[in-house]
Structure 1
Amino acid sequence: MGKITVRNIRVYAYHGCLNEERLIGSDYLVTVEVFSNLEKASASDNLNDTIDYVLINSIVKQEMKISSNLLEHVAKRIINRVFNEVKAAEKTVVAVSKINPPIRGDVEMVTVTLKEKRP
């Protein structure tokens, strides 16, 4: 079993329960880990035998464009897309972080992490 990680994809998006968050938007970081058998790819040196991280990046950017109230909902949509489009994915972990969330206090970011095995 191996793992491909696409770490800290930077996106500006419009998520949140407050109207201001959905109008103004904010910065986000998304990390996706995809677990798969990478043995064939390690021997073949062929992109078709591994997880295409360009596709993972594209999925994240597309899903982050869809406004949601909760980061949990966004993370779940990303996981669903990974399982639908990456047949070799056996397990996926998605972390969505809102940088400088609009809460009282000095908070760098809030992160929601979901982890699922292929159904």
Structure 2
Amino acid sequence: MDKIQIKNLEIFANHGVFPEENKLGQKFVISATLYTSTRKAGKTDDLTASIHYGEVSQFITKFVQEHTWKLLETVVEQLAEAMLLQIPHLEKVELEIKKPWAPVGLPLETVSVSIERGWHTAYIAMGSNMGDKKAYLDMGVLGMQLTKGCIVEAVADYLATEPYGYTEQDEFLNSVMKIRTILPPHELLDRLHELEQEANRVRVIHWGPRTLDLDILLYDDLILDDEELHIPHIEMHKRDFVLIPLAQIAPWVRHPVYNQTVQELLDRLK
């Protein structure tokens, strides 16, 4: 991915743990690496097809001066989020904020915090087999649309399927949605659990009836396994009610473990 760099932008602002830092203020130095595609702008000489580094510099300055936080970590985290949400064509940003002559009682030149944040593509499985199933799936989609830092890009057709695992229950309505998100995986999982709770989801029987079930299937090409989360979803390659709707909106996406496309996994399952 192409990069546009802004180095050592000097800003006078009011951030710090001590009250006098918030009142009197001091100089901060910010560097930003903006990841985007410059191909179209380079071929057309059209500034609107790229990122205007002058406007971005003004954006950074205004944002940092209009807020007051104690920690550099908060400044740079909030700034990165605001940039990703408000600057067109920005796919990823690396930020470094330096605080010269930080008041630590020792002769140091500067302290700094650096982070990298960006947009990610995730696929979310949806299922319901209680009450108004379509309404619950619609609720899940709307909930993601209203989630800060998430954009719903596609939703597969709703598919009626027989129950999986525990079979003594009503048939399911299933689907998959594609989202773009700046949320890291565990924060995305927390948000999905919140949406399930809003739908009065009760976890009593494993694979049992539920008003709304939301699972992360894929998150970029990430492979993650811990106590709370498995990406890719460990059962997705075995489930036609996942692969059929996923193949409708993303047949070319490749499973990062099995190195097969979604369509190939579905054909193999059939």
If the TM-score is normalised by the length of the shorter chain, which range does it land in?
Answer: over 0.9
Paired amino acid for 2:21: E
Q: Which string of whole-angstrom CA distances, capped at 9 and with x for unpartnered residues, describes residues 21-75 of structure 1?
A: 1122111101111101111111111101111112211221112111110111111
Q: How far apart, CA to CA, are the structure 2 residues paired with 1:86 and 1:44?
A: 20
Percent identity between matched residues is 23
Q: Which string of whole-angstrom CA distances, capped at 9 and with x for unpartnered residues, describes residues 61-91 of structure 1?
A: 1121111101111111211121112231111
Q: How many residues align?
A: 119
Say which structure, 1 or 2, has more relative contact order (CA 8 Å, 6+ apart): 1
1:34 is aligned to 34
Gaps of 5+ in 1: none
CA RMSD of aligned residues (A): 1.1
1:79 is aligned to 80
2:114 is aligned to 113
Report the alpha carbon displacement of residue 112 of structure 1 after superposing the two structures with TM: 0.6
Are 1:55 and 2:55 an aligned pair? yes
Gaps of 5+ in 2: 120-181, 183-270
Q: How far apart, CA to CA, are the structure 2 residues paired with 1:54 and 1:90?
A: 18
Paired amino acid for 2:116: K
Runs of 4+ deviating beyond 6 Å:
none
Q: Which string of whole-angstrom CA distances, capped at 9 and with x for unpartnered residues, describes residues 5-31 of structure 1?
A: 111111111100111211221111011
- Secondary structure of the equivalent of 2:59? helix
Larger radius of gyration between Structure 1 and Structure 2: 2
- Secondary structure of the equivalent of 1:107? coil
Are 1:13 and 2:13 an aligned pair? yes
Q: How far apart, CA to CA, are the structure 2 residues paired with 1:37 and 1:25?
A: 37
Q: If the length of structure 1 is used for normalisation, what is the TM-score?
A: 0.93
Q: How far apart, CA to CA, are the structure 2 residues paired with 1:86 and 1:15?
A: 24
Paired amino acid for 2:100: I
Q: How far apart, CA to CA, are the structure 2 residues paired with 1:113 and 1:104?
A: 23
Paired amino acid for 1:47: L
